[in-house]
Amino acid sequence: MSLKKIKSTSILFVIVLFLCSLNLLPAGAHAQASRISEESVDVLTKTGQALAELAEAVKPAIVNISTTRTEKIGGRFNPFLNDPFFRRFFGDNPRFREAPRKRRSVSLGSGVILSTDGYILTNNHVVKNADKIKVILSDKREFTGKIIGSDPKTDLSVIKIEATGLPTLKMGNSDELKVGEIVLAVGNPFGLNQTITMGIVSAVGRANVGIADYEDFIQTDAAINPGNSGGALVNVRGELVGINTAIFSTSGGYQGIGFAIPSNMARVVMDSLIEKGKVIRGWLGVSIQAVTPELAEQFHLEKDYGTLVADVVEGSPAEKGGLMRGDVIIEFNGKQVNEPYILRNMVAATPPGTEVFLKVIREGEIEELKVTIGELPSDMQKTPAVFRNALKGTSVQELTPEIKRRLNIPDRIRGVVVTDIEAGSPAETVLMPGDVILEINRRAISGVEEYEAIVSKIKPKKDILLLVYRKGSTIFVTIAGE
């Protein structure tokens, strides 16, 4: 190398050192000199070790469930729908239909071992109509599962395998969950055994999701995919706080919104299924509805909270305990009641024969009542009608004399009163709570039974013409079909 080149190189080296000392070089030029602090490494290492320990502790109690069932199909089979989780929300592929034929289908799901002698909790939709249930443990052992009991109203089932000394998960208290708390989802998405994802509790008390009759879901952003159904949602103590059930998705895949059934609800259902073979639910004997701002004003409430009693069943525990139409229930055994579904879930989870204390607002005054919860009659366990037309998501109630008095509705008016309209319903921008539906497609309505009979026959894309009584006058309105 020539002397001239050596001098040039030396000068360049000195300049680089000088610029480095002044931190004037681009970050990449001295990135190699940067180091992660020992403190940061220690914190991250301990966090990683803690999560690894947690995962190792809970995985053995999570099982893979595969079911086979015979079903009629038409056309080619879509392997993407090889999971009841997907078929539940997206249905069978309507394309490529051929003459119906029978075939054996295989579905995948997960379950949680909750007793050393083989009781396993899972989703009802995982094992529903199954001809055969195969349970695979974390150690690869295989067993045949038997359904002990199912509860479609909460989408839970208990199955049993003949084994002893099994690893289990401890039930946690889901009522103590806080939004932002770290949780792990454990299951078998797409058949990939013992998969763990991490997230936080995004929300609690989610209802009106349309998955089950009794809803009080934990919402999480921990990744939940097909095959996770029936798996565990656990807290940082390794306790079961939820049974993973469904996702909210527009594409069929994970989008950061998953739902789990709270462990406290699951515990009540599981115990009842094991002990009784069915779920025994408490019964109060009232028709209830949400308190809207309009109703709060009519009932002289300071704010729209509590649950309004629209009717009381004759001879029911509610009538015997002194509840009346127009009462607004604000507390059930010391717990606040802000929505109808909260009261419904509390009553259902209360064993029949239990004395409870209710706090109600009656004519502007707070009163306390003592009521003995009864057992929900079998003829009242019928699932409410669900419509797929323009009136879907619209809840109505009998137009009782008390409601007429409260809403200043003339005695001559006959129909059903709108009590609630779900967000996204076609009727959301047309109807409002307190409206009285007098006619549907020019046919008079006298009550809820007649309303359901007429609406059930309307096709999904059909426009619906309603005659509505609203604020002293009658008007015709049209709800467009989807």
State the Cα–Cα distance between residues 188 and 465, nearest whole angstrom: 48
Q: Which CATH number fits domain 170-276: 2.30.30.40, 3.40.50.300, 2.40.10.10, 3.30.565.10?
A: 2.40.10.10
Q: How confident is residue 408, by pLDDT bands cut at 50, 70 and 90?
A: confident
pLDDT digits (tens, 9 = 90+) for 11-24: 444 444 444 544 55
- Would you state the pLDDT for residue 98? 46
The architecture CATH gives domain 394-479: Roll (2.30)
pLDDT digits (tens, 9 = 90+) for 57-66: 999 999 999 8
At residue 99, does pLDDT exceed 50?
Answer: no
- Would you state the pLDDT for residue 3? 40
* Residues annotated as catalytic (active site), given as ranges: 125, 155, 229
Same fold, 62-160 and 170-276: yes
At residue 401, does pLDDT exceed 90?
Answer: no
Q: How confident is residue 253, by pLDDT bands cut at 50, 70 and 90?
A: low
At residue 7, does pLDDT exceed 70?
Answer: no
Highest mean pLDDT among 71-80, 329-338, 395-404: 329-338
Q: Give percent of the chain with pLDDT exceeding 70.
A: 80
- Would you state the pLDDT for residue 26? 55
Question: Which tokens in the block code for residue 246?
Answer: 């469904």
Superfamily of domain 282-380: PDZ domain (2.30.42.10)
Structure-token match 């467009």, residue found: 480
Superfamily of domain 62-160: Trypsin-like serine proteases (2.40.10.10)
- Read off the pLDDT of each residue in 198-220 and give the average, rounded to a whole number: 82
- Would you state the pLDDT for residue 34? 64
| One-letter amino acid for residue 194 of the chain | Q
Q: How confident is residue 48, by pLDDT bands cut at 50, 70 and 90?
A: confident
pLDDT digits (tens, 9 = 90+) for 271-283: 999 998 888 889 9
- Read off the pLDDT of each residue in 357-367 and give the average, rounded to a whole number: 90
- Would you state the pLDDT for residue 391? 92
At residue 9, does pLDDT exceed 80?
Answer: no
For the chain, give every domain's residue range: 62-160, 170-276, 282-380, 394-479
State the Cα–Cα distance between residues 160 and 447, nearest whole angstrom: 45
- Would you state the pLDDT for residue 105? 66
At residue 418, does pLDDT exceed 70?
Answer: yes
At residue 383, does pLDDT exceed 60?
Answer: no
